[in-house]
Each structure stands twice: as structure tokens, then as C-alpha cells.
């Protein structure tokens, strides 16, 4: 499928009107219509805005294969699968996840220490 076809299909799947997408990317509806027909190319900035609106990556839109990725729920996965999913994230996101885990572990250790020592009083 061509990029124009991908964008039209995804827009329809997500129940957006052409005018909604046009407004979001900063073009008029007739210009957006040309984008979906493939008679006008998107700028990189416009493609970034489309991806943002669709909550997809640019790569997911460009290499779209006919189905919108389902939301991934990590909590119902095995520990190994959870780590594999985390490893797919970019470095900045991985660091954020690991900082959150460190913070939670520190809080748990503090609570355990506090409860143990208060019980001893």
C-alpha cells in the first residue's frame, strides 16, 4: 500500500474525519484530501503530526500492513516476556522504566525496614 492509502485506512479505522486530521497537521481540508489521494506529498513535519494524532510511529504508518497494532499490556506477560518488551524500548524510555523500578524497590525496602523497627518498639 502507498503512504496515502495507509493514512486514509488508519484515519478511517480510528474514526477521524478528514477535517480533523487536516486541522491537526495545519492544512485545509482540500489539501489534506490531496494527501490521501496521493496527489500531494506530506512534509516530514506533517507526517510527524499525523503519527502523533494516530498514536503510532512514523515507521508504523509508512510500513503499515493492514492492521493497527493492538495495545500491549505488559502485566499479563511472563517476567521474561516483560523484559523482552522493555528491551525493545529506546534507551531513554528504558532508563525511565529502570528509575521507576529502583524508586519502587527503595520505597519497599524503606517500608519493610520501618514496619520491622516499629514492630520492635
Residue ranges of domains in the chain: 3-62, 79-119
In this prediction, residue 71 carries a pLDDT of 61
The per-residue DSSP string of 33-97 comes to HHHHHTSSPPPHHHHHHHHHHHTS-HHHHHT--SSPPPPP-STTS-HHHHHHHHHTS-HHHHHHH
- What are the tens digits of pLDDT across the range 33-74? 999 999 999 999 999 999 999 988 888 888 887 766 556 667
- Please tell me the CATH superfamily of domain 3-62, with its number: lambda repressor-like DNA-binding domains (1.10.260.40)
Model pTM? 0.55
In this prediction, residue 73 carries a pLDDT of 67
- What are the tens digits of pLDDT across the range 66-112? 766 556 667 777 778 788 878 888 999 989 999 999 999 999 898 88
* Pairwise pLDDT comparison (113 vs 25), residue with the higher score: 25
In this prediction, residue 115 carries a pLDDT of 86
What does the DSSP 8-state code read for residue 59? H
Cell (9 digits) for 73: 499490556
Amino acid at each position: 500500500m502507498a503512504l496515502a492509502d495507509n493514512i486514509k485506512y488508519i484515519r478511517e479505522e480510528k474514526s477521524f474525519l478528514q477535517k480533523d486530521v487536516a486541522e491537526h497537521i495545519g492544512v485545509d481540508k482540500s489539501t489534506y484530501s490531496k494527501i490521501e489521494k496521493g496527489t500531494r506529498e506530506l512534509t516530514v513535519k506533517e507526517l510527524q503530526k499525523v503519527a502523533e494524532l494516530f498514536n503510532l510511529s512514523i515507521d508504523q504508518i509508512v510500513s503499515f500492513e493492514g492492521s493497527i497494532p493492538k495495545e500491549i499490556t505488559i502485566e499479563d506477560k511472563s517476567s521474561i516476556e516483560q523484559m523482552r518488551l522493555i528491551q525493545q524500548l529506546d534507551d531513554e524510555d528504558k532508563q525511565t522504566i529502570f528509575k521507576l523500578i529502583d524508586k519502587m524497590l527503595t520505597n519497599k525496602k524503606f517500608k519493610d525496614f520501618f514496619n520491622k523497627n516499629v514492630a520492635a518498639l
